[in-house]
């Protein structure tokens, strides 16, 4: 059974700092990995999707990497801003008949002005 772990559970940084969020998964046989952002009381917004054949994806100040063999992904946020404060969720698509995404429990990021 696929398990996804996100470390740390919470992170507080000053504005302008570069930071890395970590995601690990137990079964390396994945199709893709997706990073989401969730604001308090809101739904999930997709940030980046990395296919299993890719090593990284970039969108603006965000860069996500994937090392399938070691079961790890990182989300790098450059020059953090208070508006980046949210919970960041990692989800792994292991394929199969139900196309299930297995989610981590998230990292709560606070960027202080």
Partner 1 sequence: IAGITQAPTSQILAAGRRMTLRCTQDMRHNAMYWYRQDLGLGLRLIHYSNTAGTTGKGEVPDGYSVSRANTDDFPLTLASAVPSQTSVYFCASSRTSGNTDTQYFGPGTWLTVL
Residues 105, 8: Cα–Cα separation, whole Å = 10
What are 21's strand-pairing partners? 75
3-state secondary structure of 111: strand
- Choose the binding region for partner 1 from 13-21, 55-63, 64-72, 92-100 (rule: CB under 8 A): 92-100
Q: Report 31-50 residues binding partner 1 (CB under 8 A).
A: 31-32, 34, 36, 42-46, 49
Per-residue b/e over 37-55, b at no fewer than 16 CB within 10 Å?
beeeeeeeeebbebeeeee
x-or-dash string of contact with partner 1, 45-74, rule CB under 8 A: xx--x-x-----------------------
> What is the contact surface with partner 1 in residues (CB under 8 A)?
31-32, 34, 36, 42-46, 49, 51, 89, 91, 93, 95, 97-101, 103-106
């Amino acid at each position: 059974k696929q398990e996804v772990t996100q470390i740390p559970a919470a992170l507080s940084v000053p504005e302008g700092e570069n930071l890395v969020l970590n995601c690990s998964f137990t079964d390396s046989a994945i199709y893709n990995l997706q990073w989401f952002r969730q604001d308090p009381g809101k739904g999930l917004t997709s940030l980046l999707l990395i296919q299993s054949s890719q090593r990284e994806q970039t969108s603006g100040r965000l860069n996500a990497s994937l090392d399938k063999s070691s079961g790890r992904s990182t989300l790098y946020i450059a020059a953090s801003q208070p508006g980046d404060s949210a919970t960041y969720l990692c989800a792994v698509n292991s394929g199969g008949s139900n196309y299930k995404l297995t989610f981590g429990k998230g990292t709560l990021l606070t960027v202080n002005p």
